[in-house]
Amino acid sequence: MPKALHTHGTEIVLLAVIAVMCVGLGLTTERFATLGNAFDLLNISAVNIIFAVGLLVVLIAGGIDISFAVAASVVQYVTATILGAIGGGEWISGFLIAGSVGILLGVFNAFLIHTFRIISIVATIATFNIYFGLLMFFTRGVSIYNLPDWLTTRVILYERELADGSWVEITLPVLVMLVCVAATWFLIGRTTTGRQLYAFGDNPEGARRFGIDIGAMQYIAFGWLGLMAGIGGLVQAHYAQEVVPNALYGRELDVLAAVVLGGARLGGGKGSVIGCVLGVLLIAITQNGLNLLGVSPYAFKMIVGAIILVAIALSNSRLETLFGSSRKEGARP
Amino acid sequence: MTDALDRGAARRPLLSLRTITMTFGGVRALKGVRFEVMPGEVHCLAGENGSGKSTLIKIITGVYRPEPGAEIEYDGETYSHMSPVTAQAAGIQVIWQDLALFPEMSVAENIAFQTMVGRRPRLVDYGAMRKAAAAALKRLGVTLDVDRPLKDFPIAQRQIVAIARALVGEAKIVFMDEPTASLTQSETDYLLDIVRTLSASGVAVVFVSHRLAEVLEISDRLTVLRDGALVGVYPTEGMTQSRITELMTGKVFDQTVRAKPVAGRPVVLEVEGLSRQGLFEDVSLTVRQGETLAITGLLGAGRTELALALFGMLRPTAGTVTLEGRPVRFASNRDAIAAGIAYLSEDRLSLGLIQPQSIADNLVMASYDRLLTGGLLSERRKRTVVADWIRRLAVKIGRQEDPISTLSGGNQQRVAIAKWLATNPKLLILDSPTVGVDVGARAGIFEIVASLAADGLAIILITDEVPEAYFNADRVLHMANGRIVNRFDPRVTALSEIEAAVYA
Ligand SMILES: Nc1ncnc2c1ncn2[C@@H]1O[C@H](COP(=O)(O)OP(=O)(O)O)[C@@H](O)[C@H]1O
Ligand SMILES: [Mg+2]
């Protein structure tokens, strides 16, 4: 068997599935197989990919996070409010504020998990409700439309009209997404900290024997996801040109499905950035295809649910790390 | 360096621990232990399960912090406690009992994971990592595809990976916590060769093993622990297995044949011509009240399958089973339990006990119905029942609520036996009850078996170890290829004769 199949099996399968779907959709629908649609998909998926690489880091470290999407909404509000207070700001201050608030919200999850030994799914379901409750309470559900001009103006980095009249565009969200993907790839693949995250997710007791700081691992993983949630939140506000309090509510499950589809495992120790990106694209293509085929959007929800179910079933042997018993030591004879 | 200087240096211990104390919850795992290792020596750490060997290793390597008052001296420096990073940097390496490997990671990363830890984050040098891993494997003379994930390899090769991990970097001392537990004989011989090579190159090895023959073969000196306390330090030369056992357990084991005449007693179980295609054939036997009947033979002789058939988990294709005079036919093991048959499975760890659950819950697992009052579980009754069994079988526990995984093998086995006794059986089938249980605890289990028999319980004891059958049973059946081929009475047949028949 070729080596690549061992080390990149999931990615290769995903690519193949995406290829098959593209051919199938290209044959059955008119719009799908255009280059314009391909770039649309990329622009649309940018925010989800940013979220996904953040969530990937948490999954690798053996945790899970339900709260990041509403945390991103909180970031949008807080950032919009602060930007208003400081008289507008620009992209740099926007990213700094959004990133910091995001990290703060993510680190709060790590604090709960590490200090009180609450398993991550329970802790983040709690913060999911806290964040969303606070958001609805303070905003009374009202959206913000008067965002600074720099934030709502589309930034097109590259565009070209094609022979068939459609447009190819690369926008700012795609650039930000690429930066986030590269940074996450660097963190988990190229730094010792990243490898420690894998080790911690794979075998927490083994990691502890190496003197890896378990608390630091939680803070880094959830802090990173918080940072990505903050950046993703700002980019989403830019993309939508408004801030709607429940715009991202429910997004967490779509992203979770995409990440596990990309080969990350509930229970920790496994997952790659490329797989994660392919997972988001596959989900986006599925959604796009269903739209073009005129299928009800609820069918998409069912697919997302089914993917999560299958992922849980496949990783059940490791679920003890997710749902309970944090102490994991080999059976004594 | 001159020879004299060399020898002068060798006089001073490489590692010296004093007054090491460690408490977990209520359990005192170590009580003021002293431990010394000379440079380049092979030092065995002996003690029964739960005597504190692994805990001592975890303290030396900084996984646990000892209680105040501890003194650790290593390579000329004094520490009040270690940290894993300091320990590794100072050349202390461990092959953990549970291996502590990372199944999803590549073999290379598992072996060289040390390069991933340290005080400050760095870039990963995959090239150097693979080179270090390959070098460590080469020292072992093994070739493995270092890019494949560890989970693709069987346990014996993972053990090799764990050993290779200890050889990365400049080790001055290597701890091996039961490294041979899952190795075959030839793999074990190979490991012992590695130990000798390490020692010859000046690396000290601290070796933990239950196999006393290995201990005698490999070590220069021997430190014995019992119940977390130091028994003593001895040169290996002149030691015998029975002397070590005595030191470990504090007891002298008199191996006498327990067999007694049982002929006149009422028959509990009568099996006639029982067969199941391909598994066992034409098996006939009787077990009487208060009798211990051993069934021995080689692995795969069909003993466990026979037991499963008696326990209602395998449908026989021919033959009859009579329990206390009534013919029985079980549709499932529920029927068998209700009829008074209990079966302690061979694979205690994965089948018999639910590791994360509490001692109490495990103990009442098979007898839940007896604790119900009006359909509800009475916690009070459960507590008293559990306490009663814990006392009767002298199980050493912290609290009833502790997970069963905190107990040693011998104590887990006692709980497993209690679990079945709580169903009030007439016939108890013990399938390899001493696998993974150390010498002292074995004797304890057979004490229990003897006293159960004295109370009138009929017992079938399945074991690979002929001496175990010979010393503890009233009659010994020899099973081979699914058939009973010999029947022995330990009172008239010599052990060597039975061994010759079985191992032939
Ligand atoms: N992490 C732990 N929590 C609670 N008790 C423990 C823990 N580790 C060991 N023990 C207890 O400490 C004692 C010594 O265990 P251990 O060092 O593993 O013994 P050995 O390695 O000699 O078999 C045992 O009674 C064991 O149950
Ligand atoms: Mg041990």
Partner-chain contact B409 A325, CB within 8 Å: no
Contact B118 A192 (CB under 8 A): yes
Residue tagged 């009172």 (tokens): B491
What does the angle CA A183 – CA A188 – CA A190 come to, to the nearest 5 degrees? 80
Using the Cβ of B500 and the Cβ atoms of chain A, whether some distance falls under 8 Å is answered with no
Residue A71 burial (CB < 10 Å; 0-12/13-18/19+)? buried
Say if ligand 1 is within 6 A of residue B436 CB: no
Could you tell me the fold of the domain covering B1-91+172-251? Answer: Rossmann fold (3.40.50)
Q: Helix crossing, A91-115 with A68-85: angle to 10°?
A: 140
With an 8 Å Cβ cutoff, is A269 touching chain B?
A: yes
CA distance A225 to chain B (A): 19
Subunit contact A202:B103, Cβ cutoff 8 A: yes
Strand ranges, E, within B10-169: 15-24, 27-37, 42-46, 71-74, 77-79, 92-95
Contact B332, B408 (CB under 8 A): no
Residue-level pLDDT at B249 = 82
* Closest-CA residue of chain B to A330: B98
Contacts with A331 from chain B: Cβ below 8 Å: 98, 349, 355, 405
Question: Per mean pLDDT, which range of B182-191, B260-269, B481-490 is the poorest?
Answer: B182-191
Question: B463: which strand partners?
Answer: B296
Cβ-nearest to B101 among A189, A190, A206 = A206
Rounded Cα gap, residues B111 and B132, in angstroms: 8
- The whole-number pLDDT of residue A195 equals 96
What does the pLDDT profile of chain A (333 residues) look like in tens digits? 456 666 677 788 888 888 888 888 888 877 777 777 788 888 889 999 999 999 999 999 999 999 999 999 999 999 999 998 988 889 999 999 999 999 999 999 999 999 999 999 999 999 999 999 999 999 888 898 888 989 988 888 888 887 777 778 889 999 999 999 999 999 999 999 999 999 999 999 999 989 899 999 999 999 999 999 999 999 999 999 999 998 999 999 999 999 998 989 888 999 999 999 999 999 998 888 888 888 888 888 888 888 888 777 766 544 444 444 333 333 332
Task: Return the ligand number nearest the Cα of B51.
Answer: 1
Residue A18: per-residue pLDDT: 87
Two structure tokens written together for B104: 């999803």
In B, residues 379-418, which contact A (CB 8 Å cutoff)? 405, 408-409
Asked if the domains at B1-91+172-251 and B265-340+425-504 fall in one CATH topology, the answer is yes
Residue A9 in contact with partner chain B when CB distance is under 8 A:
no
**What token pair was written down for A231?**
């950046």
Query: Could you give the C-alpha distances from A195 to A85, B116, B325, in angstroms and in order?
Result: 41, 7, 66
3-state SS record for A69-118: HHHHHHHHHHHHHHHHHCCCCCHHHHHHHHHHHHHHHHHHHHHHHHHCCC
pLDDT digits (tens, 9 = 90+) for B353-403: 887 888 888 888 888 777 777 777 788 888 888 988 888 888 888 888 888
Residue B458: the pLDDT is 95
Ligand 1 atom, smallest distance to B58 CA: 17
Element (H, E) at B342: strand B341-344
Please tell me the distance from the alpha carbon of residue B217 to that of residue B188, in angstroms, as a whole number.
Answer: 12
- Contact indicator for B312, B333 with CB cutoff of 8 Å: yes
Q: Which of residues 249-288 of B touch A (CB under 8 A)?
A: none
Residues composing chain B: 504
Q: Which of B84, B96, B116 sits opposite A196 (nearest CB)?
A: B116
Alpha-carbon span B374 to B371, nearest angstrom: 10
Q: Does B181 touch chain A (CB under 8 A)?
A: yes
Q: What is the mean pLDDT of residues B244-254?
A: 79
Among A307-321, B187-201, B254-268, B437-451, the range scoring the smallest mean pLDDT is A307-321
pLDDT value at B6 more than 60:
no
B 282-311 near A (Cβ less than 8 A) = none
Contact yes or no for A331 and B98 at CB 8 A: yes
| The residue to which tokens 């201050």 are assigned | A93
Q: Which of B477, B469, B423 is nearest to B449 (CA)?
A: B469
The environment of the single-atom ion ligand 2, i.e. residues with CB closer than 5 A, is B 54, 97
| Buried/exposed B212-237: b ≥16 CB within 10 Å, e otherwise | bebbbebbbbbbbbbbbebbeebebe
- B54 Cβ below 6 A of ligand 1: yes
Averaged pLDDT for residues B44-50: 87
Taking the CA of residue A181 and the nearest CA in chain B, the distance in Å comes to 18
In angstroms, what is the span from residue B30 Cα to ligand 1's centroid?
A: 9
Q: Which chain B residue has the Cα nearest residue A199?
A: B102
A317 CB within 8 Å of a chain B CB: no
Closest residue in A to B209 (Cα) is A333
Residue A321: what pLDDT?
45
Q: Would the CB of B57 count as within 6 Å of ligand 1?
A: no
Strand bridging mode B77-79 / B71-74: antiparallel
Which residues from chain A sit within 8 angstroms of residue B122, using beta carbons? 191-192
Cα separation, A268 vs A321, whole angstroms: 8
Measure CA of the first residue to CA of the last residue in chain A; give whole Å.
37
B412 ligand 1 Cβ < 6 A: no
Identify which of B27, B56, B177 to mutate to test ligand 1's pocket (most ligand atoms within 8 A of the CB): B27
Q: How far is the CA of B441 from the centre of ligand 2 (A)?
A: 15
Q: What are residue B323's DSSP bridge partners?
A: B269, B326
The matching CATH number, chosen from 1.20.1270.30, 3.40.50.300, 3.40.50.720, 3.40.50.10420, for B265-340+425-504 is 3.40.50.300
- Nearest CA of chain B to the CA of A201: how many Å? 9
Atom of ligand 1 nearest to the CA of B49: 23
Interface contacts (A, B; CB < 8 Å): 106
- Per the CB < 8 Å rule, is A198 touching B122? no
Instruction: Provide the shortest C-alpha distance from residue B273 to chain A (in Å).
Output: 37
Report the DSSP beta bridge partners of residue B245: none
Angle subtended by helix axes A214-240 and A91-115, to nearest 10: 140
In Å, how far is B84's CA from the nearest CA of chain A? 5
Q: Say what the pLDDT of residue A180 is.
A: 97
Interchain contact, B124 vs A331, CB within 8 Å = no
Residues in chain A: 333
Nearest-by-Cβ selection for B100 from A7, A206, A332: A206
Work out the pLDDT band at B1, boundaries 50, 70, 90: very low
Nearest ligand (C-alpha, residue B22): 1
- In this structure, are residues A106 and A226 in contact, taking their beta carbons and an 8 Å threshold? yes
Question: Which of A3, A7, A332 comes nearest B408 by C-beta?
Answer: A332
Residues of B in contact with A216 (CB under 8 A): none
Give yes or no for B180 touching A (CB within 8 A): no
pLDDT at B372: 78
Q: Which residue in the set B85, B96, B101 is minimally distant from A211, CB to CB?
A: B85
